[in-house]
Structure 1
Amino acid sequence: MSSESSGVKGKRCLLLTNYFYPETFRGNDVAFEMVKRGYEVTVITCIPNYPQGRFYDGYGMWRRRREVVNGVNVIRVPVIPRGNGRAIRMVLNYVSSLFFTFIYTLSIVLRKKFDFIFVQELSPAFIGIPAVLAKKIQHIPIYFWLLDVWPESLAAGGITNKYIIGIVDKIMRRIYRNCHKIFIAAPGVRSLLQQRGVRNDCIEDLPNWGEDALQGDEVSEDQLPPLPDGFRIMFAGNLGEAQNLENVMRVAERLKDDKRIQWIFIGDGRKKKWVQQFVQSREMEDTVHLYKRYPIEYMSAFFKKADIMLLSLCNNNAFNVTLPAKLQAYMLNAKPVLVMANGEAQSVVREARCGYGANADSIDKMVRLVLSISRVPKQELEQKGRNGYHYYQRHFRRDKCMNDLFGTIENYKKKGAKK
């Protein structure tokens, strides 16, 4: 291995993730914070194409494959874009991202010395495989931020073949065994990891947090598209298979004759076309409104126009133990939350006293709940929003999460231990 190296010894990080800026995931914050704290960070990631399924403007197979973003050295590997999200395109996307990330990781760890590896794990979870390769070559620890639980998430996406699920489960167990620490975004994930043989002392909490841009006032009201009058239930984010949109639409259909209740969806994703077709076929255009994906800087302005924010997830073992990042975004903006999901999300909203909830498949209850909420005094909704904001400050504040993360990394360095 070449002795090529720079930066402060002990602070040279190889960060592996399938998604990085300009894609909006919390791994961006981790990388940028590392630079602020004196770390040298090299990111290996894919050409940005999430969630719209095509390369972002200015990026491509021969464009901006290497760049420096806020002091972070970014290497973008070739990848087949997700496209329209159909199965064959997703498989090609997953396979190409794994193959090229593996090749590029091998190339760089043979030339450059690192002190540790940080993995932001989102689907596809196989991003952990090149991390294990880097660990074996350089004998350095892996810090693995588990944000999408496989193989449970595969089953939620319709892959139920026991042979495939079994293979993926074995791969994930092997990845976990090679991690020095596994960070989890919700407490419920701990039991799933323990069932896979992960020791409790290898698991640390690292929840999502709201991004700084979510609190900005750069976007004025007149920069937003016209929104319908009425009681506004707003969903912001990815419109995918996980978001339980079929049941949400059934609720909206049951309430379509009540023109006071307006459903607003802001974002993009694999399921958006289905939602559009459903709305048109049921003649729901008066009460269900879909808007394009807007930059994150617009979200605070949109949130201010909503009466309550919607968080929905399918009933699945993986989703029931996860805590979607949009919940923290809603809380940070002091908005009340309407949950149509099981497990962790509903538990946190109940504990924080910041909203209302029904189970993922409880369509009748959700219909009654929406009707009831649409008539509650505005002051009650505002109080729920304030409750959520205070809960966020106690549990999900960005600086708290960062200090916890870097405390764990620094503690390992001080001990001088080797995994």
Structure 2
Amino acid sequence: MGYEVEVLTGFPNYPGGKVYPGYKIKAYQREIVEGVPVLRVPLYPSHDQSGAKRALNYLSFAAAASVGSLFLKRPDVVYVYHPPATASLPALVLRALKGVPFVYDIQDLWPDTLAATGMMERSAVLNTVGSFMDQVYRRAAHVTILSKGFKEKLIERNVPATKLTVIPNWTDEAQIQLPEPNPARAAELGFRDRFNVVFAGTMGKAQALETVLDAADLLRQSAPSARFVMIGGGVEVEGLKQQAQDRELSNVTFLPRRPPSEIGEVLGLADALLVHLKDDPLFAITIPSKTQAYLMTGKPILMGVRGDAAEMVKTAGAGIAFEPQNPEALARAVQEMLALTPAQRQSMGAAGREYYFAELSLAAGAQHFAQIFEQVARQHRPYDALKRGIDVAAAGAGLMVLGLPLGVLAYMVRQKLGSPVFFKQVRPGLDGQPFTMYKFRTMTDERGPDGQLLPDSVRLTSFGKFLRSTSLDELPELWNVLKGDMSLVGPRPLLMDYLPLYTERQARRHEVRPGITGWAQVNGRNALSWDEKFEHDVWYVENRSLVLDLRILLTTLQKVVKRDGINAQGEATMPKFMGSPSA
């Protein structure tokens, strides 16, 4: 698509935990893979069941990649593939030191997946991982997820919906070749005269493949022609082989792991393809990556995963869904598939292949990512890093210089309006994330007979009007600027209640940190209509620069002296925003 791409990764060792032939661990290695520059950094290779070794694998790469990232040419945007969560550390380093935004692509929800797969069981560690993930989501410019269930889960964790995009996975279309079935090859692999249900992929704890062995045991009598063919590697393979041998399950065959370029041959010989995961709530909101490969091959699917994955197969008309970790349900699904005519099974497979290319293909997914990368690069300009430095320096200096005047104002507010001195309210900040904004109090807490607060015009005292007209009530927001909640210049932070009322264009005001002053403030302030104010805010987002910020700050000083645009016509401040007619 014309983008310049560079990859920062480790030395290849997945899934076996051993470095691939032709590679050896060293300080770094640069190479070109299909025209793409690749920088490899050292790591501890391990993917076994040891939590300590797995953690060392993740952390060693994160540390080496964090250093390695500093030697890359500054990118416009970083794409981070998760898991593991530690892969975010180099992106966090680039964001902190060079102001580079990153897009976080989530394939597994952590710590949920760690707990569900048994990789980590200590609650303290899981809580720590959860807290770390919250920080990653907060700092990511955008988060992509593979299912609607993931999106709903992250919204529950207070990740703004505007920051989330569902992009289903595609498969390696170029690698998976689907040759015409070869009778001789079918006989060689034992596929002739059997109804072959193929599972291809990693065999770990999450796949819970003991269910397949139990179903095979049930099918020995009820469907003797049925056979399960298990292809791949993983930590559970040897144990499953031993169990099958001990139970004399002649209708279960294990084949070694094959690269994508060779797996098409076996998938093409299958009568049905199997997907299975543990019956865990987490997996009800995920879509196993092999689903896309199976759909593309045009073979009917037996889906042993609840939720989004089962719904995808049903929507596509591509197979049969059954209850996971239920051997009887799997056995019934195999019998049901076996009872269909070859033409019916072929129709199922064709429907799945059509659905894949219409909804899930590489072309569709790449276009979605390209749009997000363009959006993020546009929203996070190199100037933003400089802007943050200016904010910190100015806010810090302002708080020190104005320390005594702020103390005097606080005393006067206490004397005239009572406690509390500060007005605190949760407002939406960058990407709509909530933060607590601090201002000097300007209104009383007078209430009517019904216990409700009186209108602003009644509660706003003459002293409060003075604070507002001079903008002295805004000075405590310097603390918000220093913390990173706000900027000196940007769209004013409004109310959380307004977030669902914005049009798509109006919501763009949250692509930057809110400001103490902004383009709308120097072009009419509260005398503007809501639509006019939002249009000024979005114009600032699209045109922000150092020169524009300096112009806004200087104009703000002039406006404060003249006390322009303090009120909307007929209002003490601004009427409540009820949504735009175009929304």
How do 1:86-101 residues align onto structure 2 when only pairs under 5 Å count?
86-101=50-65
Runs of 4 or more off by more than 4 Å in structure 1?
217-220, 222-225, 414-419
The reply on whether 1:128 has 2:88 as its aligned counterpart is yes
How do 1:313-324 residues align onto structure 2 when only pairs under 5 Å count?
313-324=277-288
Q: State the partner residue of 1:376.
A: 340
Give the letter for the 2:309 counterpart.
Answer: A
User: Is the CA contact 1:338–1:356 (under 8 Å) kept in the aligned structure 2?
Assistant: yes
Q: State the partner residue of 2:248.
A: 283
* Cα shift at 1:386: 1.1
Q: State the partner residue of 1:108.
A: 71
Q: State the partner residue of 2:197.
A: 233
Q: State the partner residue of 2:224.
A: 259
How do 1:3-152 residues align onto structure 2 when only pairs under 5 Å count?
37-62=1-26, 65-82=29-46, 84-105=48-69, 107-108=70-71, 112-122=73-83, 124-152=84-112
- SS of the aligned residue for 2:189 comes to coil
Q: State the partner residue of 1:8.
A: none
CA 260–356 in structure 1, closer or farther in 2 if over 3 Å, else same: same
User: Is the CA contact 1:309–1:337 (under 8 Å) kept in the aligned structure 2?
Assistant: yes
Please tell me the root mean square deviation across aligned C-alpha atoms, in Å: 2.1
In structure 1, runs of 5+ residues without a counterpart are 1-36
Distance 1:394 1:127 in 2: 31
Give the letter for the 1:44 counterpart.
Answer: L
Distance 2:352 2:298 in 1: 6
In structure 2, runs of 5+ residues without a counterpart are 385-511, 513-583
Give the letter for the 2:319 counterpart.
Answer: G
* Cα shift at 1:140: 2.0
* Cα shift at 1:220: 7.7
CA 84–150 in structure 1, closer or farther in 2 if over 3 Å, else same: closer
The reply on whether 1:353 has 2:317 as its aligned counterpart is yes
Distance 2:185 2:175 in 1: 16
- SS of the aligned residue for 1:160 comes to coil
Please give the TM-score of this superposition, normalised by the length of structure 2: 0.62
- Would you tell me which structure has more helix in proportion to its own residues? 2
Percent identity, please: 28
- Alignment length (residue pairs): 378
* Cα shift at 1:199: 0.5
* Cα shift at 1:214: 4.7
Q: State the partner residue of 1:180.
A: 141
* Cα shift at 1:281: 1.0
Q: Which has the larger radius of gyration?
A: 2
User: Is the CA contact 1:218–1:297 (under 8 Å) kept in the aligned structure 2?
Assistant: no
Range moving further from structure 2, 177-186 or 252-261: 252-261
- SS of the aligned residue for 1:150 comes to coil
Give the letter for the 1:233 counterpart.
Answer: V
Please give the TM-score of this superposition, normalised by the length of structure 1: 0.85
Q: State the partner residue of 2:116.
A: 156
Distance 1:72 1:218 in 2: 29
- SS of the aligned residue for 1:279 comes to helix
Distance 2:68 2:380 in 1: 28
* Cα shift at 1:415: 5.6
User: Is the CA contact 2:145–2:165 (under 8 Å) kept in the aligned structure 1?
Assistant: yes
* Cα shift at 1:259: 3.0
Bigger RCO (CA 8 Å, 6+ sep): 1
CA 86–163 in structure 1, closer or farther in 2 if over 3 Å, else same: closer
Q: State the partner residue of 1:213.
A: 174
Distance 2:303 2:179 in 1: 29
User: Is the CA contact 2:43–2:60 (under 8 Å) kept in the aligned structure 1?
Assistant: yes
